Structures are given as structure tokens and as C-alpha cells.
Amino acid sequence: MSDIFPKWTNKLPVRLLTGAFVVGTALTAGVWYYFTPKYTRVGYQPIQPVSFSHAVHVGQVGLDCRYCHSAVEKSWYSNIPTASTCMNCHNQLLPTDTRLALVRESAQTGKTIPWVQIHKTPDYVYFNHSVHVNRGVSCVECHGQIDQMDEVYHAKSFSMSFCLECHRNPAERLRPADKITDLNWKWSDDPKVAAQLQKVNGEKFMHDWKVESLQTCSACHR
């Protein structure tokens, strides 16, 4: 029987098992690393039922984020505006535009527009918009330059490391309360001066607003 198969085949099962283990480990590591929000959500840009340009409404017209997302200062959730909010302007502006047909129908019938959610955190993460917005954290910190987007996309990773970058040193991200929705605001055009002002004022805001550097698991996982 020993002459039927060459001797090297005796080691074949071990080699196959070793190879399977290496490949399996590599695949697991790859999925574990790359299937995080940093890689699976950044750049996500779904097609919406109605085209809406933040670059036009915010960047050009100058609408404040809170006009549409009216609950952001008092709720954990940043609400999507109702069609009636849109029609406050569009009853007069482009009232018969075919691109707004679904919005007009929604306002008349009460049927919700099926917007596709872009920004979301996992179910095991607790995030409260009002806590952040009322303590000097601007929309731009998490959503990027959304005022320049014709079609909204997922700009930041929302990974745990992304959140911890801010939580470890909140002073670097805080700004005056009245500048929260001014996404292009900065302390100074001079980077060095801006950095100095951010450090001084950021630490003052932390003290005055009782902002804590929360890094415990229970801060976000409840």
C-alpha cells in the first residue's frame, strides 16, 4: 500500500489544515478590519427620491441647518423635515417644478417621502445630537462640509476611534454656540492664531459648559 501514494502525501492533510487556518485567519482579520464604518460607510451616497442640494439651500441661499432639522437642539435624533416645511418656501418658489412633484404630493396627502437614511450609528451605540450641539460641537465635525454637497454622502467614518479622537480632547472641537451651524467658521484665517484661540477658548468652553472628556464604555454603550 505504501507504494500506491508518494511519501509527500502523508503530510498533505496537515498542510491543507494549516493552509485553511491561515486563509481563514486572514479572511477573518480582513472582514474585522475593513467591514468597519470607516470602510463600509464613508462615501456612501444613495439615490434619494427627491434631489436636494445642500450646496444650493445652505451654501448659496444661506438656510440655517436648524430650519429643516428643527429637533437637533432638543432631541437625540436630527429629524428629517416634513414636506410642509419645504413648501413654506416652494409654495412661492418653483411651485410647479416637476422635480418637486413628490414633495407637493406629500404635503397634500400626508404620505411620507421615502428618504434613504445616510448617517446612522449601530444599534449598540448611544448618540444624542442635542448634547453635542448644545455644547459647541458643530455639524461639520461629524458630517463634513455638507453645505457644499449637491448630493449628501457619508463623509466621516463614525468608527469608535473617530468618536474617541474628539472625546479624548473635546477642547479642540468646541466653538461658540452661535457658530454651530456656520460650517465655514474659523477663529482666524491665520492657522497659528486660530490654533491658539481654539486652545484658550476651547478649554474655557469645557469649564463653562461642564464638558467632560468621556472615554468610558458606558458613555456610548448603554
- Both 131 and 189 in a single domain? yes
- Both 24 and 120 in a single domain? no
- Both 20 and 119 in a single domain? no
- Both 44 and 132 in a single domain? yes
Q: Is residue 107 part of a domain?
A: no
Q: Which residues pair with 174 in a beta bridge?
A: 137
- Both 157 and 206 in a single domain? yes
Instruction: Give the range of the structural domain holding residue 193, as residue numbers without chain letter.
Output: 38-80+115-219
Residues 6+ apart with CB under 8 A from 202: 170, 171, 172, 173, 174
The CA-based dihedral angle spanning residues 150, 152, 158, 159, taken in that order and rounded to the nearest 10 degrees: -90
Distance of CA 160 to the CA centre of its chain: 12
> What is the pLDDT, as a whole number, of residue 17?
85
Q: Is residue 208 part of a domain?
A: yes
* Spatial separation of the C-alpha atoms in residues 201 and 187, rounded to whole Å: 10
Burial 161-194 (b: 16+ CB within 10 A, else e): ebbeebbeebbebbbeeeebbbbeeebeeeeeee
Residue 151's Cβ-count burial label (10 Å; 0-12, 13-18, 19+) is: middle
Phi, psi of 49 (to 5 degrees): -65, -25
Q: Is residue 88 part of a domain?
A: no
> What is the pLDDT, as a whole number, of residue 3?
62
- Both 119 and 30 in a single domain? no
- Both 198 and 153 in a single domain? yes
* Spatial separation of the C-alpha atoms in residues 189 and 186, rounded to whole Å: 7
Q: Is residue 90 part of a domain?
A: no
Q: Is residue 20 part of a domain?
A: yes
CB 59 within 8 A of CB 148: yes
> What is the pLDDT, as a whole number, of residue 2?
52
- Both 207 and 156 in a single domain? yes
Q: Is residue 99 part of a domain?
A: no
- Both 20 and 64 in a single domain? no
CB 150 within 8 A of CB 55: yes
Ordered per-residue pLDDT tens for the chain, 222 residues? 456 767 777 777 788 888 888 888 888 877 777 677 777 789 999 999 999 999 999 999 999 999 999 999 999 999 999 999 999 999 999 999 999 999 999 999 999 999 999 998 888 999 999 999 999 999 999 999 999 999 999 999 999 999 999 999 999 999 999 999 999 999 999 999 999 999 999 999 999 999 999 999 999 998
- Both 20 and 130 in a single domain? no
Q: Is residue 1 part of a domain?
A: no
Q: Is residue 108 part of a domain?
A: no
> What is the pLDDT, as a whole number, of residue 202?
97
User: How many domains does the chain contain in total?
Assistant: 2
* Spatial separation of the C-alpha atoms in residues 23 and 17, rounded to whole Å: 10
